[in-house]
Amino acid sequence: MRTVTVPGLARGLGFTALFAAFPFVFTESWVVNIGIFTVMYAALATAWNVLGGFSGYLSLGNAAFFGMGAYGEAILFQHISIGSGYRPFWVLPLIGLGVAVAVLPVAWVAVRTRAATFAIVTISMLFIAQQLAFNLHSLTNGAQGLVMPLPPFPNTTFERPFYLAMVAVLALSVLLSWYVATGRLGLMLFAIRDDEDRARGLGVHTTYAKLFAVAISAGLTAMAGGVWAYYIGFIYPQFAVDPLVTIGAVLMAFLGGRGTIWGPTLGALILVPAQQYLAFSEGASELYLVAYAAIFLGVMLLMPRGILPSIADLVAARRSSNGAHRADGPRAEMPEAVT
């Protein structure tokens, strides 16, 4: 069922090229800065979607993986001194793999629970991670946080390497999402989402499927965290393991359409610039929280299924009324949204 079609390939490469070209067209550093956060959240939301969207297991602890990635990068800097420049980008896959493996034991306990209990257990994981960042003083330097050496990039294009690294993480996230959604693992996850007991009865190895999804989600999230830590240059516990990071990613996935491949990216493209604009124009971070809450409530109440599934419904309704059926590249293979 996984076929690489020419339009599909063109679309993937086209989007990647478009994203990658952005900092060469808009060179002002504040614009690229917003770009970095937009692409980062797109990657985070896509990573969240692999577990939360495909299997229906609502994870609210992804900020813990993000923090683990960020600390992983910073600790490598501090203790093993991997140097600066471009080298920290090359260790990212290692950090992603490391975090993906490291979370498995806790994830094994977490996926034994279901629905709301699972969501709550993941929230606890988030706070455990934050507490550990405070307490493991020799490793994380506690509340003082860790500082990374300034990268030797020229001032005028300082943001560009970070931006491109984020685009790479996003591309990997979307590619993996597509690979999962169109393969055996995806079928298992969708079966779990629809009815886990029945899926298990039919012989789906549910624990294995869920753990695989957690590992992919965690690894990708950690890689984004690593790039973020290098870009910010300074991390401390509340900042690196921030519940707002989870909430942002989940909100974007919901807005764009959870369970779809491009939905989370679309959600990030809409929300992050809006959010940055709000933070900029309102100044005070407190009003920004209120505005954020209002947007969130609006999305949840008015469009709980997200933009892409709603559009897909409209298109499907129009097509069936015309009686015309036409395959449309990978979009036709896009997994159905949660019904």
Partner 1 sequence: MHLVVQAIILGLLTGGVYALMASGLTLAFGVMRVINVAQGAMIVAGAYVSYTLFTDFHIDPFVSIVLMAPAAFAVGVLLQLVFLRPLRSDEREELSLLVTWAIALGIEGVLSVIYTTTYRATLPGYVNDSLTVAGYRIAVVRLVAFGISGVILLLLYLVLHRTRLGRSIRATVQNPTAARLLGVDAERVSAYGFGLSVATATAAGAVFGMVEPFNPGSHYDLISRLLTIVVLGGLGSLTGAVLAALVMGVSEAVLAATISPTWSSLVFFVILIGVLVVRPQGLMGATERGRL
Please list every residue from 200 through 229 that binds partner 1, using CB under 8 A: none
What DSSP state is assigned to residue 330?
G
Taking CB under 8 A as the criterion, the residue among 43, 174, 215, 250 binding partner 1 is 250
Stretch that binds partner 1, among 14-22, 81-89, 123-131, 169-177 (CB under 8 A): 123-131
Do 47 and 173 contact (CB within 8 A), yes or no? yes
Q: How many residues bind partner 1 (CB under 8 A)?
A: 52
Distance of closest approach, residue 244 Cβ to partner 1, in angstroms = 8
* Phi, psi for 15 (deg, rounded to 5): -60, -45
Those residues whose C-beta lies under 8 Å from the C-beta of residue 183, and which sit 6 or more positions away, are 1, 2
Nearest distance, CB of residue 234 and partner 1, angstroms: 20
Beta bridge partners of 235: 146
Q: Looking at 36, 99, 133, 192, which residue binds partner 1 (CB under 8 A)?
A: 192
Given a contact cutoff of 8 angstroms between Cβ atoms, the answer to whether 182 and 2 are in contact is yes
254 binds partner 1 (CB under 8 A): yes
Place of tokens 């549910």: 206
Q: Report CA torsion sign: 201, 194, 66, 165.
A: positive
Q: Is 289 in the site for partner 1 (CB under 8 A)?
A: yes
Q: What share of the chain is helix, strand, coil (3-state, %, to 5)?
A: 75, 0, 20
* 102 makes contact with partner 1 (CB under 8 A): no
Would you say 158 or 296 has its CB closer to partner 1?
Answer: 296
CB 222 within 8 A of CB 99: yes
Tell me the window of 12-20, 218-226, 249-257, 319-327 that interacts with partner 1 (CB under 8 A): 249-257
Residue 143 half-sphere exposure toward CB, CA atoms < 13 A: 0
Stretch that binds partner 1, among 2-10, 201-209, 228-236, 287-295 (CB under 8 A): 287-295
**Contact residues for partner 1 (CB under 8 A)?**
56-58, 60, 106, 109-110, 112-117, 119-121, 123-124, 126-128, 131-132, 134-135, 192-197, 243, 247, 250-251, 254, 284-290, 292-294, 296-297, 300-301, 304, 338
